[in-house]
A = this chain, B = another copy of it.
Amino acid sequence: MEKKKIRIGNAVTEYYFNATLSKLSEVADKKYSVVLTDENIYRHYEKQLKGWNTIVLKPGEEFKLQQTADAVVDSLIEMEADRKTTLIGIGGGVITDLTGYVGAIYMRGIRVGFVPTSLLAMVDASIGGKNGVDVGVYKNLVGTIRQPAFLFFDVGLLKTLPESEWQNGFAEIIKHACIRDAVMFRELAAHDINWYKSKKTALAALVRRNALLKTKVVQGDETEQGDRKLLNFGHTLGHALENQFELSHGQAVSIGMTYAAHLSESLAGFRGRAKVVDLIEKYGLPTYAEFDRTKVFDVLKHDKKRERDSLHYILLNRIGKGVIQTLPLSQVKLIIEQL
């Protein structure tokens, strides 16, 4: 187990790489911790979670709601959790987002730790302190930005992951490569999901590389005034699509990245569009899609990234180099109609 302390803003987060769930008690005190997880995770790891105080939620994004946060608060009161309690989220992005949010508002903030169990949560959702719940069709409309006290990475937890979840994770990994890491882009192009599944060391290294890449972006801009916006590559259109269709987050982002690559070609002279599209396809993710442009634009108008009458759109100058472009809503409308 490798331990690394990283400062973001005023907070210090402990990163534990190459960790094992059964060693969690070396990092947090069972007596003063409450584990928040879902039924799927609990069923898989009941043995390892023996002796921990646990709150077990129904699994699924459809429960990432204020009502669920309210129920967790009620459970914490019942358990007499106080300001010295650590709330540990063990699960995918839904669980880490809920844990971070409840931890931020319970008694005006208690210590929080994350044990991400999906590839997406390991490389993206658990990192950077953003948390929240969905409100109607708007993802993460309510939440805070607050760094966890620790992050605990055990890639062994990925072995029960369904194929679609591997794809979700790789969508964000491809995103990271596109905006910041041309070397990783080439590594990804040389392999595929099955290769990483069969090479635990390479997978652990990939998770670590992505966790630290995202951390570095967030360190420079915790509150998303500048470079952190780069992480929204593929996400502006992606979120709008995810709300309208039966798409996974990775699928929606992949379609978003495909269109963003096209936009980059026409607005920023980007020449790697075909390579990006090929890589997305290589990892089993979709690229082009039919959608109702008016509906999608309507959701885009409510995107948190909107600022009055314009929207920040992330484009690529080249592979490994994302840039932030501010586009007037009227131009976004035109672009979407022409996509």
CB-CB contacts below 8 Å: A221-266 with B: 223
CB-CB contacts below 8 Å: A296-333 with B: 301-302, 304, 306-308
The smallest beta-carbon distance between A97 and chain B, in angstroms, is 11
Contact, CB under 8 Å: A304 / B108: yes
Contact, CB under 8 Å: B143 / A108: yes
CB-CB contacts below 8 Å: A23-69 with B: 32, 66
Which residue of chain B lies nearest to A32 when distances are taken between CB atoms in the complex?
A: B308
Number of identical monomers bound together in the oligomeric complex: 2
Contact, CB under 8 Å: A304 / B107: yes
Residues of chain B within 8 A of A84, CB atoms compared: 307-308
The smallest beta-carbon distance between A160 and chain B, in angstroms, is 32
The smallest beta-carbon distance between A96 and chain B, in angstroms, is 15
Contact, CB under 8 Å: A307 / B82: yes
What is the 8 Å Cβ interface bit string for chain A, positions 73-88, against chain B (1 contact, 0 not)? Answer: 1100100101110000
The smallest beta-carbon distance between A34 and chain B, in angstroms, is 14
Please tell me if A144 contacts chain B, counting CB pairs below 8 Å: yes
Residues of chain B within 8 A of A82, CB atoms compared: 304, 306-308
Contact, CB under 8 Å: A144 / B108: yes
| Partner among B77, B135, B141 whose Cβ is within 8 Å of the Cβ of A141 | B77
Contact, CB under 8 Å: B108 / A307: no
**Complex Cα gap A135–B81 (Å):** 14
Interface size class of A (residues with CB under 8 A): 35 or more
| Partner among B74, B106, B145, B308 whose Cβ is within 8 Å of the Cβ of A108 | B145
Do A108 and B135 form a contact, CB below 8 Å, given A77-B141, A80-B302, A302-B77? no
Contact, CB under 8 Å: A77 / B142: no
Please tell me if A70 contacts chain B, counting CB pairs below 8 Å: yes
**Complex Cα gap A108–B138 (Å):** 13
The smallest beta-carbon distance between A76 and chain B, in angstroms, is 9
Please tell me if A10 contacts chain B, counting CB pairs below 8 Å: yes
Interface contacts beyond A73-B135, A82-B304: sample of 14 additional A-B pairs, CB < 8 Å, sorted by A: A66-B66, A73-B141, A74-B135, A77-B302, A80-B301, A83-B306, A105-B105, A105-B132, A105-B142, A106-B142, A108-B130, A108-B132, A109-B223, A144-B144
**Could you list 13 examples of A-B contacts with CB < 8 Å?**
A9-B10, A10-B10, A32-B308, A66-B66, A82-B304, A84-B308, A104-B144, A105-B132, A108-B132, A108-B143, A109-B144, A109-B145, A144-B144
